[in-house]
Structure 1
Amino acid sequence: MDEQIHEKLKEIKQSFRLLMNGVASQSMRQKGVSYKINWGVPLPELQKMAAEYGKDYGLAVELWKEDIRECQVLATLIMPAEKMDAELVDVWMERLRTQEMAELLAFNLLQYLDFAPSLAYRWIASASAIRQLCGYQLLARLFARKLEPNERGVNEFLDQVRTTLEGRDLPLKHAAYNCVLSFCGLGADYEAVARKALAGMDLL
């Protein structure tokens, strides 16, 4: 790590202490959101910090390596999407631990990658619950931006949603359901296809 990045990282970590919100941090812990360190810094504060630092590939890479909630949130905000390749996505996914971070990673960064759709379809079919969760979050963002899937994509998506909704993982079922709502938002034809594929599940 070069000296400049090292100094920035130190500065950032020190600033978290000043912004610490013990109540928020404790509340997350009680809800099972576990990080090695969690200062409970609110997202708007982190967005402000990200704006001050600007897009910075080297700093984002180092921030993501820290098992600290605020460092990882900042990493998703300052990583330039055009420099995030498939290999780095895999490295980051290995460190993904919480539902909150899966949502923020998809929202702040992954939805802007050129290869986002192929990632999302691969992940919703993954054996890893956290990858599935991130995949549904990512697809929901892409559908909300009116990115229409091809026929194969539609079939894969609805097959996977059915499997997920028949399972027992509540956060995952919630993510899949929200994703279906975004899919239906693409238009009446898509809604009709979803209703047909998920008939009998009393969802739509």
Structure 2
Amino acid sequence: MTTTEKVVALMRRLKIEMNGAVTDAMREYGGGTQGYGLNYGVSLPTVKDVAREYAPDHELAQALWRQDVRELKLAALFIDDPSRVAAGQMEAWADDWRTPELAEQCAMQLFWKSPEAGKQAAEWAGLPSGEAALKRLAAFYMFGRFAAAVETVSDSELSGWLDDARIFGPTAAERSVVYALREIYRHRPAFRMRVTALLDRVPDEVAGEVRWQVEYLK
């Protein structure tokens, strides 16, 4: 099959899974349905199950991302080859984010596995708050994934990011900051005291949520 034929086949498969209830739930809980030309309301696990049959295929992932269809963009994340995802692609896709869902899923499912992920996350997290909200949101989700990847991301790499005052500071109010700090505390015992200290630097609402979640983990 050509790349174009694969795109068409995937769209047909995913359209069969159309679910209006998922679309309604996205709207109700703030996930948002606007920003997509088409939205079939297919759940993420279903998209993943359908997409895995085509992975890895870097060229197909690029073609899928160019489609203005929610499910095809999400499928691209499970089909792409992370080893071929460079900084230029991450920037280009980020410029196309029109919903928090895409920012979160790009970070959690694909970008964090890229060889250039650490540098990219640090750059995005250091951007001015409000001017690049979705990039910052993605950055902290990536940090959380790094923390859990104890076999591939060293303590020394994580230490450098924790020491960067631009990243975890008074403007770090994104909901993904809670995820990042919780995951660092959970998977990197050596950094628990540093996480506790960081809670004095981040916004109070973030610190309070992290403290609650950390207490639950004990």
Smaller-chain TM-score bracket: 0.7 to 0.9
How far off is 1:189 after superposition? 3.8
Which residue number corresponds to residue 137 of structure 2? 133
Task: Tell which deviates more after alignment, 123-132 or 34-43.
Answer: 34-43
Looking at secondary structure, tell me which structure has more helix per residue.
Answer: 1
- Please state how far the C-alpha of 1:140 moved relative to its aligned partner: 0.4
Question: How far apart are residue 188 of structure 1 and its match?
Answer: 4.1
The answer as to 2:25 corresponding to 1:6 is no
Which whole-Å CA distance do the structure 2 matches of 1:108 and 1:150 have between them? 19
Amino acid at match of 2:37: K
| Cα distance, 1:36 vs structure 2 | 2.3
The amino acid across from 1:138 in the alignment is M
1:19 aligns with 2:23: no
Contact 1:102 1:137 in 2 (8 A): no
What is residue 169 of structure 2 aligned with on the other side? 162
Q: CA deviation at 1:198?
A: 2.4
Q: CA 1:183/1:7 → structure 2, altered by over 3 Å: closer, same or farther?
A: same
**CA 1:29–1:68 in 2, change beyond 3 Å: closer, same or farther?**
farther
Cα-to-partner distance string for 1:73-132 (whole Å, 9 max, x where unaligned): 100000011111221221111112222222221222112111211111111112300000
User: Kindly tell me: are residues 188 and 52 of structure 1, through their superposed partners in 2, closer, same or farther at Cα, counting changes over 3 Å?
Assistant: closer
Q: What is the aligned length?
A: 195
Partner of 2:38: 37
> Distance between the aligned counterparts of 1:17 and 1:186, measured in 2?
39
TM-score, normalisation: structure 1: 0.85
Distance 1:160 1:88 in 2: 22
**Deviation at 1:159?**
4.8
C-alpha RMSD over aligned residues: 2.1
CA distance in 1, matches of 2:176, 2:45: 23
**How big is each residue's C-alpha offset from its partner over 1:122-158, in whole Å with a ceiling of 9 and x where there is no partner?**
11112300000000000100011123235442221x6
Percent of aligned positions with the same letter in both sequences? 23
Distance in 1 (CA, whole Å) between partners of 2:189 and 2:91 is 35
Task: Return 69-78 or 40-49, whichever deviates more.
Answer: 40-49
| Cα contact 1:50–1:77 (8 A) shared by 2 | yes
Tell me if 1:143 matches 2:147.
Answer: yes
Q: Which moved more, 1:70-79 or 1:110-119?
A: 110-119
Unmatched 5+ stretches in structure 2: 212-218
Matched AA of 2:102 = M
